[in-house]
Each structure stands twice: as structure tokens, then as C-alpha cells.
Amino acid sequence: MAILVTGSAGFIGANFVLDWLAQNSEAVISLDKLTYAGNAENLESLAGDTRHTFVKGDIGDSGLIAELLEIHQPRAVINFAAESHVDRSILGPEDFIQTNIVGTFRMLEAVRAYHRKLSAEAAEAFRFLHVSTDEVYGSLSPAEPAFTERHQYEPNSPYSASKAASDHLVRAYHHTYGLPVLTTNCSNNYGPYHFPEKLIPLVIHNALAGKPLPIYGDGQQVRDWLYVKDHCSAIRRVLEGGALGETYNVGGWNEKANIDVVHTLCDILDEEQPRDDGHSYRQQITFVKDRPGHDRRYAIDASKLERELGWKPAETFESGIRKTVRWYLSNQHWVDNITSGAYRDWVSKQYQ
């Protein structure tokens, strides 16, 4: 038995593969294109592990996907592969269309052909789990209730629009072709191996480097924060017991304004690795022009997942964020290896 995991060298995908193999013996076939955010070093600890097979490749390569399915005969496909950064989608949306929409379509076609050939027993047990985002739902006002699975899709960026399209394709392949699919829509993840273009790792990296901590607009954009290992456990639970064709929201029940997250990070760093001059890292906070179409608030109602499948997060924001800071302090070599010249140029352009 084996599972195929796409986007396996990315932030969430790598954490999922590492957690999966730490908890059971079922083999994992890893597929990742290794773009800027796909880092083979994330899976370095699995070198020599015969349960893990890594393949460099694109989910848009129909021939490769068909070959992997034929050779390895996985009982499930978990699709993490995606272009996922809003800022990059604003500067260059075409990559998001190609990966998130066209790539998902080609994956679904290959999986559909594979599923048709399975025995009745294997076909019944097979699952295609599509990992998506809360950003497909749009933005909430401060007083509105959190997103449920019934919330209308209202994407506001090229990234979220491309993910919304992929969600619709997955749903359609279930209702039209009977493909056994599951979809999860998660809130903002944080934790180990997070590429430092996103808020939390960017702040940690810049703080330690003595650089400004750039905050968009007034910093009052609210997000629901989910520790990545909690997200991994939720995906395992949905894969195990989710109802076919259903969507499950995955959230951390931790709504925080961006500026409050940054203040928390600064305060933890003040304790864990104080500045040489004795001042707080808060002094490095700098407010920059807000990005176009910046959603004001996301909030996930994950009660369906708890009610139907008994899942709830193990970490509070306070416990998870401290674990995250300590991981980055203990793994500075990992950060140094991925913050290349191209990355530094991009950050300079984005937050100038």
C-alpha cells in the first residue's frame, strides 16, 4: 500500500510527509516540481528511508502522473501542489493559472483514468484529497460569522481565484464522473519549514538579521492561525473518515490581527534571543503600503470537522508560535540555504 503526495517538498506537504512516515509504515511517493518554495532539504531526514520515493516533476505533466499511478498503484492521492502566495499572484498571475487550475485538471484526468482501471474493491477504497484554502471564501467584516463549508465563494486575488477554480473542478469530477474526492479548506498555517516570504517566517528572519519588519497598511488584517502539524493531523483524519464529495474546513480557532502576531513574535524573540543592544525587536516594525485588494479578515468555522470526525487542534496559538520560533532559532542553516539572492531581490521589491 502507498499514497501519492504532490507538492511534497513545500511547507505543508513536507510536514505532512514527515508526520505520515513518523506514525505509520505505509509508503509515500513524493512529487514536487522544486520551484522556489519547494525545497528538497525539507525531506532530507528521509534519505535512505525505503518507505519514501521522491520524484521531481510537475502535476501538469499528464504522462508522468499516469506513469506514477501505474507503477506505484497508490490507494490515495493527496494534492498539496499549488502556487500559494498572494503577493506573487498579483505580480505574475499566469503561474497560478497554470499550476492551480490546469495542473489540477490534468491531475484529475490522470486519476480518473487510473481509477477506472482499478478492481471494484480498490476503486471503492481509493481517495483523491484536494488541499485548498479559506481565501476562496473572500473577506469578512469584523462582525460576520466565520466561514462555514456552505459559504459562498468570493475570491479576491488571482491566487484565491485559481484555488476556487481548482475546488470547483474537484467537485465536478465527483458529481460528473463519480471520482471519490475530498476537499479541505484551511486557514493560515505556520510552523517549521515555512518559506520566509510569508508573515511569520519573514518577521523571524528579518528580526534576527536586524532588518525592518514590514507590516502592510495598518496591520489590522485578521487571520485564523493553524499550526501546520495540526493541519496534517486533520488531513489524515479526513482521508480516513471523510464522506465522499464533502468539504471540510480546517482552522485553529485563533483569530489574530497581523500586528498582534508580529508583537507576539517580537516578545518571544526578546526572551529567546535578545538583541545585543537590549532593545525590543518591536523597534524594527515598519508599516508599508498595503497590497492591492488585501482581504480584511478570514475566520474558519471548523465545527463540522469536529462534529463529524472528532478532530480539533492540539496547539493553541501561544504554544504553537513558541514552538515555531524555537524551530527557526535552531535551524538557521535551513533559512540561510534558501534565502538566495533571488529571494532577497524579491523581498526588496515587494516591501520597498
Per-residue pLDDT tens digits for 98-108: 999 999 999 99
Q: For helices 104-117 and 62-72, what crossing angle results, to 10°?
A: 30
**Average pLDDT along the chain:** 94
Question: What pLDDT, on a 0 to 100 scale, did the predictor assign at position 343?
Answer: 47
What pLDDT score was predicted for residue 305?
98
If you average pLDDT over residues 157-171, what whole number do you get? Answer: 97
- Cell numbers 481565484 correspond to 161
- pLDDT tens digit string along 264-279? 999 999 999 999 999 9
What are the catalytic residues?
A: 134-135, 159
Q: pLDDT per residue over 184-206, tens digit each?
A: 999 999 999 998 878 999 999 99
**Span 51-57, average pLDDT:** 96
pTM for the whole structure: 0.94
**Which segments of 218-326 are extended strands (E)?**
222-227, 247-250, 255-257, 285-288
The pLDDT score that the predictor gives to residue 245 is 98
Model confidence at 30: pLDDT above 90? yes
Q: Which of 43, 320, 26 is nearest to 191 (CA)?
A: 320
Q: Is 2-187+228-252+297-315 assigned to CATH 3.40.50.720?
A: yes
Give per-residue burial for 160-172: e unless 16+ CB within 10 Å, then b: bbbbbbbbebbbe
Which tens digits make up the pLDDT trace of 200-254? 999 999 999 999 999 999 999 999 999 999 999 999 999 999 999 999 999 999 9
Identify which of 352, 301, 11, 23 has the alpha carbon closest to the alpha carbon of residue 137. Answer: 301
